[in-house]
Structure 1
Amino acid sequence: MAKRPPRLLAVASGGGHWVQLLRLRDAFEGFETVYVSMFENYAEAVPGARLYTIPDASRFDKLSFLKVGLKALRIMAKERPKAIVTTGSAPMLGFILLGRMMGARTLWVDSIANAERMSSSGRLARRLAHRTVSQWPEVAEAEGVQYWGSVL
């Protein structure tokens, strides 16, 4: 019986976060990749892969984070990923936290849009994720995270 590849959960909100995540796809080679975002039509960009949708959440609406957290918990319980990669935004922090609790390796790639300092979500992720990286060398140095290059 052939061994299944490890499962990777690739999560990002919409817009630029999603575009950046898709540009990392070559790095997902060797994994069975499952995607999470906020729009069902994003499935067209990842044919053959499973895509789960979650609602958006705002730090100004704590109830929205509870809804995302419950959905994230169901996804994590079903998929049991070995690794989680995200390009953000805040609703994706729940996947990082749950991933850590469930033994998955976690990576937060802060958005390229944060050219002067890390996002507030990235600063939280720095405490939660196994690895947090910035796409700007100056930001990485100032924030005490790594710089691996940019995805754009």
Structure 2
Amino acid sequence: MKVCLISSTGGHFDELTKIIPAVEEHDYFLITEKNKSRKVDSSQGKVYFLMQQERKNAMFLLIFVANIIKSFFLYLRERPKVIITTGAGATYPFCLIGKIFGAKLIYIESYAKIYSSSATGRLMYKISDEFFIQWETLQDSYPNAKYRGALF
């Protein structure tokens, strides 16, 4: 079974790497954003990069469209059966494409979200096959979410 682990850079990626031991027995790959200030250790497996997208960046729309196109081709190249994500924004197009093509989608809401939902979480809640929260306090925001503890 092929598994995709996808997240933006920073804390989302740190959370995502905690999942690697659970998927090591499968054919898995990582997708994250390219970031000048942070190098990704490619010894963790096959890694692909999207462009880092910041909503406040004047080039956001152009970068967003470029990431959608790249996500489409990455999906066609790898065709994962399962997509696991911790968010954020740049991950949504790949997850939506995967869902359209029949991949199982698993979303894990950010550890940083204790009392309120994230923008990505609200989008993913609608399309995820499995939705996990890391704080029980989020159960009101996501009534059908599963709480299994924190990744950290």
Q: TM-score range by the shorter chain?
A: 0.7 to 0.9
Give the letter for the 1:73 counterpart. Answer: F
Instruction: After TM superposition, list the pairs within 5 Å mapping 1:17-96 onto structure 2.
Output: 17-39=12-34, 41-42=39-40, 44=41, 46-47=42-43, 49-59=45-55, 61-96=60-95
Runs (5+) with no aligned partner, structure 1 = 1-5
Give the structure with the higher percent strand: 2
Instruction: After TM superposition, list the pairs within 5 Å mapping 1:9-24 onto structure 2.
Output: 9-24=4-19
SS in 2 for 1:38: strand
TM-score (norm 2): 0.88
Give the letter for the 1:80 counterpart. Answer: R
Give the letter for the 2:147 counterpart. Answer: Y
Q: Shift in Å at residue 67 of structure 1?
A: 1.1
SS in 2 for 1:87: strand
Aligned CA RMSD, in angstroms, stands at: 1.6
Give the letter for the 2:5 counterpart. Answer: A
SS in 2 for 1:151: coil
Runs of 4+ with >4 A deviation: none
Query: C-alpha offsets along residues 27-76 of structure 1, whole Å, 9 cap, x if unaligned?
Result: 2133111000113731x2x4162100001224453332211111101110
8 A contact 1:86–1:107 mirrored in 2: yes
Give the letter for the 1:150 counterpart. Answer: A
Paired with 1:55 and 1:8, the residues of 2 have a C-alpha distance of 21
Q: How many residues align?
A: 145
8 A contact 1:108–1:133 mirrored in 2: yes
Paired with 1:99 and 1:125, the residues of 2 have a C-alpha distance of 12
SS in 1 for 2:115: coil
